[in-house]
């Protein structure tokens, strides 16, 4: 379920948390209602304080056997461990076999990748819900679908809400449409929220995220700064600004804001990943390794996160000349089964070979990948990047020139990279030709690959004219 992180900073919750923690320290029991204890469980869970969360859940169930909140927490732990039969059995101990029971059973179905079954359970909730609670129940269903990344279903349920002017509806609708990539109307909805609540920083954070998704970096920065102006150091505002700073290549400043965010959420995996990324772009591989190792620590067994972490740790170790550690992490990467590119780890291994002086091994392995894939355009491009990044620029250029479908009008990717190779080789006319095509067909790739060649803040659409005027004859 979505947890409102702002709630955990309010005075009432902090008082309840202190009272509970004081009772644990003293060894004296304290009576709290089930909802308050569930809030404490959710807080510990969010902070990755697993032992404390488990202890609070057990205490809650000692006071309220069958309470849905602590049972749901324990069910989710079983879900996370992929022990779904145990989750099912525990769910059966919920006292209320109506709404709360159906909610937790629906979560198990979603964990089993059965959104249709969850949909049926939520329909059953609607059959017994009070009329004045109908919208709230619909929003709960939409929230659960959202939390399990079934965004289409979340949107379907949101469309059933009668009162669409509430802040809760608008906020979840914004989050859902953003997740679906349907961001055209998001800013309008956020403006409604902000008009009603101009000093609610979380809406400015959502606005910043939406503007960033629409490549409105200046506006996104302003929104994040307004969020921090109305509520200094709010975590969402710190994170929003950090993300904008990364997008605009202001890595040193971005690190400061990620670190400030981590003061509130010290186990946030993505923030450590982003810090590592920033340090790598600053050529500070030692600190990048430290950041990625922290990300590895907090990622646990989450393969999606570990794949990127292992890759970047390997690269950082390679940049420091430590091929042994780099190859160890590539071995870890190769054992994960979640990457869609089966040659991904081997390409990375080739990179390390080349960077650490094993030229023959690297070239031989790259050639083997090209042969195995039939010189497919995808791997021609990937191999060329590996060659280029290891200063084999002429080889990268020739590979792309002779084996990539550059004359195909349907080709979208790759022109930015051969343009870069031409630039470094002094092939100005070819550079301009490929730059023009790249800007027309894939401005996102152009910005990623070529932004360092142009003044800060310049839009990709301006690259060709700028360089044509300034190219050395």
Helices and strands counted in the chain (H then E)? 27, 0
Q: Is the pLDDT of residue 349 over 70?
A: yes
Both structure tokens of 287: 């600190």
Band (pLDDT 50/70/90 cuts) for residue 1 is very low
- What integer is the mean pLDDT of 188-204? 91
- Regarding predicted confidence, which is higher, 252 or 468? 252
- Which pLDDT belongs to residue 338? 67
Q: Is the pLDDT of residue 68 over 90?
A: no
Contact between 32 and 56 under an 8 Å Cβ cutoff? The reply is no
Q: Is the pLDDT of residue 69 over 50?
A: yes
Q: How far is CA 444 from CA 71, 163, 247, 376, 439, in A?
A: 46, 39, 12, 22, 8
- Report the distance separating Cα 216 and Cα 197, nearest Å: 22
- Regarding predicted confidence, which is higher, 446 or 469? 446
- What integer is the mean pLDDT of 154-178? 91
- What integer is the mean pLDDT of 9-17? 87
Q: Which domains does the chain have, with CATH numbers?
A: 1-95 (1.25.40), 405-473 (no CATH)
Closest by alpha carbon to 218, among 456, 469, 6?
456
- Crossing angle for the helix pair 186-196 and 201-213, to the nearest 10 degrees: 160
Q: Percent helix, strand and coil across the chain, each rounded to 5?
A: 75, 0, 25
- Which pLDDT belongs to residue 6? 63
- Which pLDDT belongs to residue 337? 67
- Report the distance separating Cα 271 and Cα 48, nearest Å: 15
Both structure tokens of 358: 């094993």
Contact between 259 and 275 under an 8 Å Cβ cutoff? The reply is yes
- Which pLDDT belongs to residue 473? 47
On the 0-12 / 13-18 / 19+ scale of CB atoms within 10 A, 402 is exposed
Q: How far is CA 238 from CA 5, 10, 45, 258, in A?
A: 13, 18, 21, 7
- What integer is the mean pLDDT of 37-50? 87
Average pLDDT value for the chain: 91
Going by the DSSP 8-state scheme, the letter that residue 231 receives in this structure is S
Q: Which residues of 432-467 are buried (b: 16+ CB within 10 A; e: fewer)?
A: bbbbbbbbebbbebbbebbbeebeeeeebeebbeeb
Closest by alpha carbon to 204, among 365, 6, 369, 16?
6
Q: Which residues of 279-302 are buried (b: 16+ CB within 10 A; e: fewer)?
A: bbeeebbebbbbbbebbbebbeee
- Which pLDDT belongs to residue 212? 92
Three-state secondary structure string covering 20-36 = HHHHHHHCCCCCCCHHH
Closest by alpha carbon to 119, among 91, 83, 160?
160
Q: Is the pLDDT of residue 193 over 70?
A: yes
């Amino acid at each position: 379920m979505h947890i409102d992180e702002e709630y955990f900073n309010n005075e009432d919750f902090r008082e309840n948390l202190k009272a509970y923690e004081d009772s644990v320290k003293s060894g004296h029991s304290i009576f709290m209602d089930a909802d308050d204890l569930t809030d404490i469980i959710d807080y510990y869970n969010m902070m990755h304080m697993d032992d404390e969360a488990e202890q609070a859940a057990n205490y809650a169930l000692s006071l309220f056997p069958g309470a849905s909140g602590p049972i749901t927490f324990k069910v989710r732990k079983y879900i996370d461990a992929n022990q779904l039969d145990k989750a099912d059995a525990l769910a059966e101990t919920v006292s209320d076999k109506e709404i709360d029971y159906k909610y937790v059973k629906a979560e198990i179905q979603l964990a089993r990748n059965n959104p249709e079954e969850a949909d049926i359970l939520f329909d059953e909730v609607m059959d017994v819900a009070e009329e004045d609670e109908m919208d709230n129940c619909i929003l709960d269903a939409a929230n659960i679908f959202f939390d399990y990344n079934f965004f289409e279903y979340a949107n379907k349920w949101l469309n059933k809400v009668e009162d669409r002017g509430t802040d809760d509806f608008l906020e979840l609708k914004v989050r859902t449409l953003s997740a679906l990539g349907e961001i055209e109307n998001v800013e309008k909805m956020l403006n409604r929220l902000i008009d009603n609540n101009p000093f609610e920083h979380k809406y400015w954070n959502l606005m910043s995220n939406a503007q960033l998704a629409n490549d409105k970096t200046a506006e996104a920065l302003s929104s994040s700064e307004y969020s921090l102006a109305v509520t200094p150091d709010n975590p969402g505002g710190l994170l929003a600004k950090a993300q904008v700073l990364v997008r605009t290549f202001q890595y040193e400043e971005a690190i400061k804001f990620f670190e400030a965010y981590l003061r509130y959420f010290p186990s946030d995996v993505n923030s450590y990943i982003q810090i590592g990324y920033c340090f790598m772009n600053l050529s500070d591989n030692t600190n990048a390794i430290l950041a990625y190792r922290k990300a590895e620590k907090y990622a646990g067994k989450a393969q999606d996160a570990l794949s990127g972490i292992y890759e970047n740790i390997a690269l950082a170790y390679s940049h420091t000349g430590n091929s042994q550690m780099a190859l160890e992490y590539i071995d870890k990467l190769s054992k994960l089964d979640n990457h869609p590119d089966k040659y991904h780890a081997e390409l990375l291994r080739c990179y390390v070979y080349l960077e650490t002086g094993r030229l023959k091994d690297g070239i031989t392995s790259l050639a083997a990948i090209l042969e195995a894939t039939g010189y497919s355009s995808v791997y021609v491009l990937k191999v060329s990047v590996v060659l280029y990044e290891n200063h084999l620029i002429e080889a990268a250029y020739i590979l792309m020139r002779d084996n990539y479908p550059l004359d195909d009008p349907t080709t979208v990717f790759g022109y930015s990279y051969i343009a870069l190779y031409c630039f470094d080789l002094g092939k100005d006319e070819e550079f301009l030709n490929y730059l023009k095509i790249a800007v027309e067909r894939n401005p996102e790739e152009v910005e990623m690959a070529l932004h360092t060649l142009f003044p800060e803040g310049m839009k990709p659409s301006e690259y060709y004219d700028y360089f044509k005027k300034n190219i050395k004859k």
